[in-house]
Structure formats: C-alpha cells, structure tokens
Structure 1
Amino acid sequence: MQRVTVTLDDDLMGEIDRFMGDRGYSNRSEALRDLARAGIAHADEGVGADRACVAALIYAYDPQVRDLARRLVEIHQSRRDLGLGVLATPLGADGRLEVALLEGSTSEVRRLAETITTERGVRHGRLVVVPLGEEARPVVDADGLAYEAQD
C-alpha cells in the first residue's frame, strides 16, 4: 500500500466527511479508496466501444479563475465538429454551470469531456453518453435534434 498526500478544499472535505458519516466509514482512507474505485469504474464505462453517440457534458466551474472562461470557449471552438450547443447559467456569485450537447464518436466525445473537466477551476464534471445503434441516425430539423430509423 502507498501513502499519498492530497490537498482538498474545505467544502469538498466536508462533503467527504458527510459521505463517510452517511455510509459508516471508520476512516477517510477507506472512503477515499471506495470513491476512487467508483470514479475509475465510471470513467471506464464503455471504453473499447467506439461508435457514434450523443452526449451531455455537465460541468460547474469558477469563472473567477484566470482565463478559464476563455480557455473553455477555445476548447469548444477547437472541436466544433462535436458540439451541438451549450447552455449556461450562473450558480450564485462564484460559479457557473454549463451543459454541452455533443455528438460524435464515443472516444472523441470522451476526450473532449476529459479536456474540459480537467481544466483548473472546473469543480465538477459528468458526461452522460447515449450510444447510437446502427439502426438509428441523427437528423437535425427545424425543431431540433431527432432520431429516426435508417431505411
């Protein structure tokens, strides 16, 4: 077993302590190991299957972090081929929530999501991937994005 030093802000540490209390953990190491395992398992979902998908990337960030908003815009612009749209809303005085709708191969969508969520100042990030089977194709019409069976 290895010892690792990690710096966490007070709010996150409070959430971890609440998590521990709710689930009966006797120490932080056990809780953090389980959280790490769950995070790794979640990140590995669907790895190896590279097919067309649509996805929603939901992330919260601190707009006060130097140049973060500009970097996020640049990241989205660099992969316009994957973007369907972004919805943004403020989260109080020190936060912002964005939902990016994406479409492309699962590997490219996951790569873009990782690029965004690992930026310094992005607090939370979650990618929800909806694989598209061979029997469905995306169709963009005047009403928005819909899916219909192939002929």
Structure 2
Amino acid sequence: MAVVSVSMPDSLLERLDEFSDEHGYTGRSEVVREAARNLLGEFEDKRLEDRKLIGVVTVLFNYETTSVEERMMQLRHEHEDLVASNVHNHVGDHYCMELFILEGTLADISTFVGKIRATRDTLSVDYSVIPVENVEETLAADSS
C-alpha cells in the first residue's frame, strides 16, 4: 500500500484523532481512507446519471475572509447556466452563508461542488441533489 503525506491544520488533525478514537478506528489512515472512498463515491450514484437534477449547496465561511466571498461570486458567474438562484446571508457575528440552488446534470453539479470544496478557508460545504421528476411528482401528489 502506498504512503501519502497530507498537510492539514493542527485543529483538523486533532479532530481526526478524536474521531478515530471515539469511533473505534485503528488510526488516522483508516479514517482518511474511508473519507476518501465516501467523497469519491458521492457522485457515482448511477441512479442520478443522465437525469436533470436540482441541487442545493450551502457554504459557510468567516466574513473577514474576503477571498471566499470573491470566489463564490466568481463561481456563480462562471456557472450561470447551472446556478438557478443564489442567496447570501450573514450568520452570527463573524460568518456568512452562501446558498446555491442548481439545476443541471450530475457531472455539472459535481464539478461545481468540487470547485467550492477546493476553495481555501471555507468552514463548511454541504449539498444535496434530487431528480427534477421526483419534485414534480411530489408537487402533483400534493395538489390532488
């Protein structure tokens, strides 16, 4: 098995060690391997391929980190055909939250989320996707 060196802040390393201990992992490597498998598998769901999807992405960051806000604006414009809506909110005393509503393919949404995750200094990136026809079926059932 290959050995890989990864840089991370001390606070994240401490959280990783605590998680490993609390959940019975044999060590950091096991946690990182599982996290990598989960991340790589997120967008490999065959049921979502070749379907129009709606995605919701939330990004939390410190408002004093203007580079994140600038990057969010850049991504919104770069992917204007994918971003159906975007909302910026202030949360607490020092944080901002960007909410993106996306409409597109799994590949497009995956690319967009990947670029957000690669943005330095984001505190949290969460997302969910659902096929458009599931939303339409739910709305039709609710109206009858």
The interval holding the TM-score normalised by the smaller chain is 0.7 to 0.9
RMSD of equivalent CA atoms: 2.9
Deviation at 1:15, TM superposition (A): 2.0
Structure 2 unmatched runs, 5+: none
Greater relative contact order structure (CA < 8 Å, 6+ sep): 2
Does the 8 Å contact 2:83/2:103 carry over to 1? yes
1:46 to partner: Cα distance? 4.2
Unaligned runs of 5+ in 1: 138-145
Q: What residue is the counterpart of 1:74 in the other structure?
A: 74
2:34 alignment counterpart: 34
Whether the aligned pair in 2 keeps the contact of 1:50 and 1:106 (CA below 8 Å) is: yes
Alpha-carbon separation, structure 2, partners of 1:43 and 1:12: 25
- By how many angstroms is 1:66 displaced? 5.5
1:86-119: CA deviations, max 9, x gaps? 2333455554322211112222222222222212
Aligned counterpart, 1:16: 16
Counting strand residues as a fraction of each chain, which structure ranks higher?
1
Partner deviation per Cα, 1:114-140 (whole Å, 9 max, x = no partner): 222212222332221101239949xxx
Deviations 1:38-74 (A, max 9, x none): 2222242348712111110122234444533122102
Aligned letter for 1:98?
Answer: E
1:1-151 → structure 2 map (5 Å cutoff)? 1-46=1-46, 49-65=49-65, 67-92=67-92, 95-133=95-133, 136=136, 147-148=139-140
The structure where helix makes up a greater share of residues is 2
What is the aligned residue count?
A: 141
Cα distance in 2 for residues equivalent to 1:130 and 1:62: 29
Normalising by structure 2, report the TM-score: 0.77
2:47, 2:116 → 1: CA distance?
Answer: 18
Aligned-residue identity in percent: 21
1:74 is paired with a residue whose SS is helix
